[in-house]
Structure 1
């Protein structure tokens, strides 16, 4: 799926959170959104996911204006994993993941063995199959985050949007989730706090003060000058001997 934002603006109580943001993410691309706290990453993701309708500008999914799409159409094609989502305490992990199939169900299309198989696969993909029967309130923050990602995978979306999905995960599960996301045959837009993780994206966009100030391949965008100007840090770029990408080493803040 190609997702395109055209001249998006979003205001809250007169404060502009997004300022003339235009962006195109190509089918199958993994696009990283980075920027300081409060730069507009989450707001932009919610607009792209169809959860917020901008008063200025528009979002297109495969060249179709999202305003013209019904809610269930959007839910069948775009999945959004929030940074801090919640669900009912009395739900089991598997039941929470099964909610991802809701947009596809109707009186004429009830739950089927195919839905069971999709939920099982989603749980396995995030390493939660052994905890499928656990109640939500007994899960750790990291386990809950993996369940939310599994629920998004159960939607079998054409585009997957994730807001800092590794925040509550230990390093092993961070790496496994990022590897899984990179391998999915879908369009991915992922907001990341860790700039080293952003180096693995196909392209990245830098948000600053509600504006998209730079886009392109990570090594072209995350220059030492950009890191100093936008993130307020001094850094060094080192070559990774095992992979064809640089490693960021931060020395100190300005």
Structure 2
């Protein structure tokens, strides 16, 4: 399934957050979005998910405008994991993950054993199967993040949007979640702060001042000039003994 954006613009109270952003993500590709805080990454993800309607331009899902699609139909193809998603309800972990099945339920299609199996597998995938009965408010920030990722996996989306999914996670769960994402046979758009993690993406887009200033293969866009211009740092590309490429950063 193809997701693309054409000349997207977004303004709030006269302040431009996105300006003339265009991109296309091929089916099955992992596309990373990087950029400084406030560069427009989260705003762009919300537009791509159909949660906000652009002030200019349009988002297309397989050539069809999201603005003309019902949210239920969008949610059957696209799942978004946001950085912050809180609730004051006394809700258990399994109930949160089960919400991922909501777009597929209706008066004609009730809950089935297949839904149970999908929810169970999503909990296993994020290492939360032993906490299904825990109440939401008793979870740590990292545990909540993993539950939200499980909820998105339970949606069985064709396109998964992740906004800083490794926030609040310890290093072990950061690695396991990123490895899980890489193995998913779906299209992924993920925002990241860690540029070394971003290097594992198929393609990268760099946001700066509400604009997409570069897009392409990681090594093509993560140039010394671009890193200094956008992030204000200097970088050195290193190759480890096992052939892995890493970046070391210095103050510009």
TM-score normalised per structure 2: 0.98
- Contact 1:219-1:246 within 8 A present in 2 as well: no
Once the two structures are TM-superposed, the CA of residue 172 in structure 1 deviates from its matched residue by 0.3
- Following the alignment from structure 2 to structure 1, what is the Cα–Cα distance between the partners of residues 241 and 220? 19
Q: Which runs of 5+ in 2 are unaligned?
A: none
Within 1, Cα distance between the matches of 2:88 and 2:164? 22
Structure 1 distance, partners of 2:106, 2:207, is 40
Per-residue CA distance 1:133-185 (angstroms, 9 max, x = gap): 11111111000000000000000001000000101100000000000001101
Structure 1 runs (4+) deviating above 4 angstroms are none
Contact 1:87/1:96 (<8 A) preserved: no
* Structure 1 residues 7-44: Cα deviation after superposition (integer angstroms, max 9, x where no partner): 00000011110010000000000000000000000000
Is 1:247 the equivalent of 2:243? Answer: no
Alignment partners' CA distance in 2, 1:50 and 1:182: 24
How far the C-alpha of 1:234 sits from its partner, in A, is: 1.3
Aligned residues: 252
**Per the alignment, in what secondary structure is the counterpart of residue 83 of structure 1?**
coil
**Which whole-Å CA distance do the structure 1 matches of 2:42 and 2:240 have between them?**
30
Partner of 1:146: 146
- Could you say which residue in structure 2 is the equivalent of 1:120? 120
Deviations 1:84-116 (A, max 9, x none): 111344111000000000010011101110000
Please say if residues 214 and 221 of structure 1, whose CA atoms lie closer than 8 Å, have aligned partners that are also in contact.
Answer: yes
Residue 15 in 1 paired to residue 35 in 2?
A: no
Tell me how far apart the structure 1 counterparts of residues 96 and 5 of structure 2 sit (CA, whole Å). 31
Residue 124 of structure 1: SS of its match in structure 2?
helix
Deviations 1:62-97 (A, max 9, x none): 111111211100011000000111134411100000
1:38-68 C-alpha deviation (Å, 9 max, x unpaired): 0000000000000111121000011111112
Aligned 8 A contact 1:161 1:189 in 2: yes
Shift of 1:206: 0.1
Distance 2:219 2:55 in 1: 34
Whole-Å separation in 1 of the counterparts to 2:45 and 2:77: 15
TM-score, normalised via structure 1 length: 0.97
Name the Cα RMSD after superposition.
0.9
CA distance in 2, matches of 1:100, 1:185: 18
Quote the residue 1:216 is aligned against: 216
Number of the residue aligned with 1:92: 92
What SS does the aligned partner of 2:95 have?
A: helix
Which residue does 1:225 correspond to in 2? 225
Question: Runs of 5+ in structure 1 lacking a partner?
Answer: none
Distance in 2 between the 1:114 and 1:87 partners?
A: 27
Match of 1:132 in 2: 132
